Amino acid sequence: MNRKVTERVYRALRLVVMILLAGVATGCAHHRLYVPMQPDGWSAQPVVMPCRFAPDADLDPATGTPVGDKGYYLYILTEALDWDFSTGPALVTSIGNRPWGHGWLILESPQERLEFGLIGDFGREKLRYHEGVIQKIKARDPNPMSYLWQTMSDGQLQIGKPKRPPTFVWKMPITQRRYQLIHDYATHRKYDQFGVRNNNCTDLVAEAAALAGINLIHRMRLTLPPEKTLWGHTVRVWTDPQYRVLEFSTLEVLEVDLRQLAQMGIGSDATEWYRAWKH
C-alpha cells in the first residue's frame, strides 16, 4: 500500500470515529436530548449527519481537522435555552420559562469582522409560535401542533452584536474561498421567511457552516403522542398523523455538537475571547 493510499485510509478511519463520537456526544451525553420511544408515544432523537465534512473540505491531511488561510475564520455563537426534551410536560415547562434563544455568526477576514444572524417570530402579523399552539389548545383544535407548520413573514437580518450574551462561541479557520462563499450567501439570502421547521436562526448558521465544508448536528426529531396529560388535564396534541413527527433545528442540539467538536480539536472554544472583545 503506497503512502497516499495509506493516508486516505487513516483519514477515512479518523472521520468515521469522529462521526461516531459526535453522535454519541449529542445523543447520550445530555440525557435530556435523547429519549427513546416511551410507552406513551413520546421520543426525542437528534438527527445525526451521515458525513461530518464535505468531500472538498479543507482539512489537514495529518490530523483530519479544518485548516484555512491566515486571518479568515467563521464563528458560530449560540444562546441555548436548556430545553428539557425528556418528557412532553418537561419540554412545555422549559419552553414556557425560556421560549426564545438565538444563534448567529461572525465572518472574519484580515480586513473586517461581520456579525449577523436571522431573527423573527415577533408576533406582529400572527401569534408567536408558542402562543398560537396554546390558543389552538384552548379552542380545542384537533391539531394544535399544526401551528408550528406555518411560516412567518416577519424574518429580519440582524446586523451587529445582539443584546444577549452567547452561552458558547465556536471558531473555525476557513479559506478565503470559503469566506467569499459564505459572504455571498449572507448577502443574497432572503431573510423575510422564518419558521420552526425551517428558516430559523439555527438553520442559517448550519447552512453557513456547510459552505465552510462542515456539517453540524443541529436538528431534533420529536415523536408526539396523540394526547398528553398536562397538569391534570388531558390535551389533544394531534389527530391528523402528519403532525405526529416534528423535525426542527434547535440550539440545544447545535451547542452540544459545537462543544464536542471543540473538545475533539475541530475548531476551538472562543467564548472567553468574545466576552472580552470590545465591539
Domain boundaries, the chain: 3-276
Residue with cell 503506497: 2
Name the pTM for this structure.
0.87
Q: Cα(248)–Cα(227) distance, rounded to whole angstroms?
A: 20
Nine-digit cell at 45?
432523537
pLDDT of 49? 87
Q: How confident is the model at residue 147 (pLDDT cuts 50, 70, 90)?
A: very high
Residue with cell 455563537: 77
Say which range, 20-34, 68-82, 181-195, 204-218, has the weakest mean pLDDT: 20-34
E strand map for 62-178: 73-79, 102-108, 113-119, 151-152, 156-159, 168-173
Question: In this structure, what C-alpha cell is assigned to residue 146?
Answer: 399544526
Q: What is the pLDDT of residue 171?
A: 98
Grid coordinates of 84:
428539557
Contact between residue 169 and residue 212 where contact means Cβ atoms under 8 Å apart: no
Spatial distance between the Cα atoms of 46 and 261, rounded to a whole number of angstroms: 16
In angstroms, the CA 224 to CA 234 distance is 14
Q: pLDDT tens digits, residue range 189-221?
A: 999 999 999 999 999 999 999 999 999 999 999
Element (H, E) at 232: none
pLDDT in the model for residue 163: 83
Q: Which residue has the cell 477515512?
A: 12
